[in-house]
A and B are shown apart, each in its own frame.
Chain A
Amino acid sequence: MTAKEGSASLSAIQIDALREVGNIGAGNAAIALSQMVDKKVDLSVPKASLQPLVCIPELVGGPETPVAGVYLNIAGDCSGSILLLLEKESAESLAALMVPHDLAAGAEMGVVKRSALQETGSILSGAYLSALGQLTGLFFKPSVPGFAMDMAGAIMDYVLVDLGSAEEHVLVVETDFTVSGVKILGHLILFPDLGTLATILQRLGVPLE
């Protein structure tokens, strides 16, 4: 792979440090998810990698793949954004696990499930940010999350417009959870703003040259 200007020129040890953040974050997320659905959650070893921004839709099967996306901005010591992409079927299974029928009595089921998925995105992002915060000693303040069910390409278009000054490479953590025999496939993507990656790497003890 050829390195493009700036962020792509990371060493193996730097990528490894970022991967470890992803792994610990995924562990936190599994615990959070398990408490939310009140069931045991099995987590396969998460795969964390740095990917070029333009490749994101391909991760979930191409720009036309229907997905559920939860997107939020990060402020605090470092800035950036987080996008959680869940395959549509995974999102629907997860929503069904989270919202018991009696809970939604009197309200429209679709609205409640949407809200449940949005909140899941918020809590899972929180779990990753918490890992990142603990490892770096930095504070990351999340915004109110936005939620959409759309094609992966459409969701990415929205994110790209919002991003402004982001790094060309993003941290992608692929997470497969199994809840009561149901597989939940998702990608959590961290978009660091320019400079954020350098700060994070420095705090992790593997500074950019």
Chain B
Amino acid sequence: MAPSVLIVDDALFMRMMIKDILSKDGFEIVGEAENGVEAVKKYAELHPDLVTMDIVMPEMDGIEAVRNIIKIDPGARVLMCSAMGQQPLVVEALEAGAKDFIIKPFQPAKVVEAVRKALHGDGG
């Protein structure tokens, strides 16, 4: 069965890009969210195998969302997608429980590689 992915990013363009990259590689995109609040709600509802999470978002940022998702499911696999210049935030996200991160803008091959790594690493 194709691994299920929830894509979280406030930019429609980024969601489309990630969706395009991952669905071409055989992943099933089960949902999208445009802020942290929505992400936590959709995670509880869908329990995807993996979440791609933007950091800077309205309502609730990606780091707070990771904390809340880990509370619901300590084994959750979250991959942070952050823009260059937000590296200190990435450290905070990893401490909050995210598995790994990729820096925007990204190349398709890097996204797929990071997603596979996050899926097959610890925490399952």
Q: Report which A residues bind B (CB closer than 8 A).
A: 28, 32-33, 35-36, 38, 98-99, 103-104, 107, 111-112, 115-116, 118-119, 122-123, 125-130, 133, 139-144
Known A-B contacts A112-B12, A115-B12, A116-B13; the reply to A140 vs B20 at CB < 8 A is: no
Q: Report which B residues bind A (CB closer than 8 A).
A: 10-14, 16-17, 20, 56-58, 83-89, 104-107
- Contact indicator A107/B16 (Cβ below 8 Å): yes
- Taking CB as reference atom, which chain A residue is nearest B20? A103
- Taking CB as reference atom, which chain B residue is nearest A37? B105
* Residue among A107, A122, A133, A142 with the highest chain B CB neighbour number at 10 A: A122
Q: Which of A104, A112, A127 meets B84, CB within 8 Å?
A: A127
- Contact indicator B17/A118 (Cβ below 8 Å): no
Q: How near does chain A come to B71, taking the closest CB pair, in angstroms?
A: 24
Q: How far is the CA of A29 from the CA of B31 in the complex (A)?
A: 31
Q: Which of A103, A111, A126 meets B85, CB within 8 Å?
A: A126
Known A-B contacts A36-B105, A143-B56; the reply to A115 vs B13 at CB < 8 A is: yes
Report chain B residues within 8 Å CB of A36.
105
Q: Which of B10, B13, B89 meets A112, CB within 8 Å?
A: B13
Q: Which of A119, A129, A142 meets B11, CB within 8 Å?
A: A119
Q: Which of B17, B87, B105 meets A32, CB within 8 Å?
A: B105
Report chain A residues within 8 Å CB of B17.
103
Q: How near does chain A come to B10, taking the closest CB pair, in angstroms?
A: 6
* Residue among B11, B56, B87, B89 with the highest chain A CB neighbour number at 10 A: B11
Report chain B residues within 8 Å CB of A127.
84-85
- Taking CB as reference atom, which chain B residue is nearest A38? B107
* Residue among B83, B87, B88, B89 with the highest chain A CB neighbour number at 10 A: B83
Known A-B contacts A103-B17, A112-B16, A144-B56; the reply to A126 vs B86 at CB < 8 A is: yes
- Taking CB as reference atom, which chain A residue is nearest B86? A126
- Contact indicator A115/B11 (Cβ below 8 Å): yes
Report chain A residues within 8 Å CB of B20.
103
Can you spell out 28 A-B residue pairs with CB atoms less than 8 angstroms apart? A33-B105, A35-B105, A103-B16, A103-B17, A103-B20, A112-B16, A115-B11, A115-B12, A118-B11, A119-B11, A122-B56, A123-B105, A125-B85, A126-B83, A126-B84, A126-B85, A126-B86, A127-B85, A129-B85, A139-B88, A140-B85, A141-B86, A141-B89, A142-B83, A142-B85, A142-B86, A143-B56, A144-B10
